[in-house]
């Protein structure tokens, strides 16, 4: 199985169910797949090399997911980028992997000229509004917008290479020990990990996860893949700076899961009304991305004795509570 | 007792000196959302709260950690005045 099969299966089984909730917008599996198809066509029109690297310079959003699936179903390679990265860092990654096109959010428009100036082989920037870049410096493509709920999704069968060992994505490390390094992951790597994780968490189409972690982190990417593969729902909220807003979203959207790195839990336990609120729909917490202090783990378990906590960091995945 | 203008300037200086460098320190408005502009992040906001708590001898309750209270120089100033006035 390759990555696009995860989405294709979910669409077949759960087409009309909601895949993504973001800022009160809901996108069904069929809409997501239709959008990904439209974006694939845009990519194919660009005359890129076979197996070209395509960047994702987008905050967590429906656009991110549509572009993500468009890239992998077009047999290109996904390169998620840290949206807080400086133009220098972004440009060095673009050069390092020989990236040919990039999906970029208009939010980061200020950084575009500096990035483009530092790169050679990048051919196109795909953006949901005009990039303002000089046409002779690079091709700007207006990103196809979200299909409406009434658009009919037509499943397309692309003739595909079925080599599961082929490269699917490159994740760059944060570079804390020097230059950031690209970690190359095959379809098989990602699919195997996704299936193992969703079985382990016992995810079903009735689950929904509060997403505060960026998808460009491998842990955020794992949330994306496991929940789409399960036909579940990703509830995106990028306002973790104000944890009260996240807690409101968790309650309003009746999420069944919350996934965080240690600092998310430290902040929520220390400076929010987390423990004063009721989350009757919440089933589990997952934690990864670093070792969490025993005190934080204990406080979380004591505050939520009826929820499961999965500590997914380190060689052993422990199951507590 | 500081005037509102002085208080606002002091809060603005703290934000500029803590989170911005060089020319950036003058390039934001007192109405700019910290979240939308990315000036302050989720750990940074805790520094902001620590600053107003010690500077103005007040306590920010957990349920007061909201954008309407904290998300710009103007909002912070009005919040401090409401709490300490």
- Give one DSSP letter per residue of A197-209, joined into a string: HHHHHT--TT-EE
- What letter would DSSP give residue A240? T
Contact A112, A102 (CB under 8 A): no
- Give one DSSP letter per residue of A5-26, joined into a string: HHHHHHHHHHTTSEEEEETTEE
Q: What is the pLDDT of residue A312?
A: 82
Q: Quick one: how many helices (H) and strands (E) in chain A?
A: 10, 15
Q: What is the pLDDT of residue B42?
A: 87
Query: Considering the domain A3-186 in this protein, what is its CATH number?
Result: 3.40.50.980
Please judge whether A267 and B70 are an interchain contact, meaning their C-beta atoms are less than 8 angstroms apart.
Answer: no
Q: Note the pLDDT tens digit of each residue in A239-252.
A: 999 999 999 999 99
Chain B (46-85) residues lying within 8 Å, Cβ to Cβ, of chain A? 46, 49, 62-63, 65-67, 70-71
Question: Which tokens is A14 given?
Answer: 């759960």
* Rounded Cα–Cα distance for residues A64 and A78 (Å): 11
Q: Note the pLDDT tens digit of each residue in A129-141.
A: 999 898 888 999 9
Residue range A156-163: average pLDDT? 69
Q: What is the pLDDT of residue A258?
A: 98
CATH class for the domain made up of A189-320: alpha beta
Please judge whether B63 and A241 are an interchain contact, meaning their C-beta atoms are less than 8 angstroms apart.
Answer: no
Contact A60, A238 (CB under 8 A): yes
* Rounded Cα–Cα distance for residues A304 and A246 (Å): 17
* Residue A208: partners with Cβ closer than 8 Å, 6 or more residues away: A21, A227, A232, A233, A234, A235, A253, A254, A255, A256, A257
What are the two backbone dihedrals, phi and then psi, of residue A142, each rounded to the nearest 5 degrees? -80, 120
Tell me: pLDDT of A314 over 90. Answer: no
Residue range A203-208: average pLDDT? 97
Query: Which domains, from first to last, does chain B contain?
Result: 4-84 (1.10.1200.10)
* Rounded Cα–Cα distance for residues B20 and B26 (Å): 9
Q: Is A186 helix (H, G, I), strand (E, B) or coil?
A: strand
3-state helix, strand, coil in chain B (%, to 5): 65, 0, 35
Residue range A83-95: average pLDDT? 92
Give long-range contacts, CB 8 A cutoff, 24+ apart: B1-10. Answer: B4/B77, B4/B81, B7/B77, B7/B80, B7/B81, B8/B73, B8/B74, B8/B77, B10/B55
**Cα–Cα–Cα angle for B34, B37, B40, rounded to 5 degrees:** 40
For the question of an ipTM over 0.95, the answer is no
Q: Note the pLDDT tens digit of each residue in B19-77.
A: 998 888 888 999 999 998 888 988 899 999 999 999 999 999 999 999 999 999 999 99
Contact A237, A264 (CB under 8 A): no
Please judge whether A244 and B49 are an interchain contact, meaning their C-beta atoms are less than 8 angstroms apart.
Answer: no
Q: What is the pLDDT of residue A128?
A: 95
* Rounded Cα–Cα distance for residues A119 and A218 (Å): 25
Please judge whether B45 and A240 are an interchain contact, meaning their C-beta atoms are less than 8 angstroms apart.
Answer: no
Tell me: pLDDT of A272 over 50. Answer: yes
Tell me: pLDDT of A281 over 50. Answer: yes
Q: What is the pLDDT of residue A215?
A: 97
Burial of A31 (0-12, 13-18, 19+ CB in 10 A): buried
Please judge whether B62 and A271 are an interchain contact, meaning their C-beta atoms are less than 8 angstroms apart.
Answer: yes
Residue range A3-30: average pLDDT? 95
Give the residue carrying structure tokens 């797949």: A33
- Provide the pLDDT confidence category of residue A316 given band limits of 50, 70 and 90: very low
- Please determine whether the domains at A3-186 and A189-320 fall in the same fold group of CATH: yes
Residue range A193-200: average pLDDT? 92
Question: Which tokens is A103 given?
Answer: 């999906």
Q: What is the pLDDT of residue A250?
A: 98
Task: Tell me what percent of the residues of chain A surpass a pLDDT of 90.
Answer: 81
- List strand residue ranges (DSSP E) for A18-143, in order: 18-22, 25-28, 53-57, 77-80, 101-104, 124-127, 139-142
List residues bridging with A184 in a β-sheet. A170
Interface check B40 vs A, CB under 8 A: yes
Tell me: pLDDT of A155 over 80. Answer: no
Comparing alpha-carbon positions, the chain B residue that sits nearest to A275 is B62
Question: Which tokens is B11 given?
Answer: 């809060």
Give the residue carrying structure tokens 């997911």: A65
Nearest residue, CB atoms, B63 vs list A239, A267, A273: A273
Q: What is the pLDDT of residue B25?
A: 85
Q: Which of residues A291 and A188 earns the better pLDDT score? A: A188
Residue range A260-285: average pLDDT? 95
The domains of chain A are located at: 3-186, 189-320
């Amino acid at each position: 199985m390759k990555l696009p099969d995860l989405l294709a299966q979910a669409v077949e089984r759960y087409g009309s169910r909601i895949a993504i909730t973001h800022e009160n917008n809901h996108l069904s599996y069929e809409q997501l797949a239709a959008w990904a198809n439209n974006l694939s066509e845009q990519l194919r029109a660009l005359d890129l090399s076979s197996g070209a690297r395509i960047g994702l310079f987008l905050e967590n959003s429906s656009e991110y997911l549509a572009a993500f699936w468009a890239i992998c179903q077009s047999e290109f390679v996904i390169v998620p980028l840290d949206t807080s990265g400086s133009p220098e860092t972004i440009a060095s990654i673009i050069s390092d992997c020989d990236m040919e096109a990039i999906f970029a959010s208009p939010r980061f428009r200020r950084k575009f000229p500096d990035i483009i100036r530092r790169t050679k082989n990048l051919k196109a920037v795909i953006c949901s509004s005009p990039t303002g870049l000089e046409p002779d410096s690079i091709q700007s493509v207006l990103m196809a917008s979200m299909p409406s709920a009434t658009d009919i999704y037509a499943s397309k069968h692309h003739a595909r290479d079925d080599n599961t060992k082929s490269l699917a994505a490159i994740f760059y490390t944060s570079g804390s020990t020097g230059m950031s390094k690209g970690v190359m992951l095959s379809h098989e790597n990602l699919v195997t990990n996704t299936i193992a994780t969703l079985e382990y968490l016992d995810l079903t189409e009735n689950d929904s996860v509060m997403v505060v972690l960026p998808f460009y982190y491998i842990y955020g990417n794992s949330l994306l893949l496991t929940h789409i593969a399960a036909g579940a729902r990703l509830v995106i909220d990028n306002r973790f700076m104000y944890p009260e807003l996240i807690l409101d979203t968790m309650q309003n959207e009746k999420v069944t899961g919350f996934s965080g790195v240690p600092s998310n839990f430290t902040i929520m336990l220390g400076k929010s009304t987390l423990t004063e609120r009721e989350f009757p729909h919440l089933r589990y917490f997952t934690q990864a991305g670093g070792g969490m202090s025993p005190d934080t783990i204990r406080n979380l378990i004591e505050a939520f004795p009826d929820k499961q906590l999965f500590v997914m960091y380190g060689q052993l995945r422990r199951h507590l509570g | 007792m500081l005037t509102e203008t002085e208080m606002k300037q002091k809060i603005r200086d703290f934000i500029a000196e803590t989170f911005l460098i060089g020319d950036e320190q003058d390039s934001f408005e007192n109405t700019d959302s910290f979240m939308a502009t990315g000036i302050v992040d989720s750990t940074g906001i805790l520094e902001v709260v620590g600053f107003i708590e010690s500077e103005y001898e007040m306590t920010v309750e957990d349920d007061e950690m909201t954008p309407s209270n904290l998300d710009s120089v103007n909002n912070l100033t009005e919040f401090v005045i409401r709490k300490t006035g």
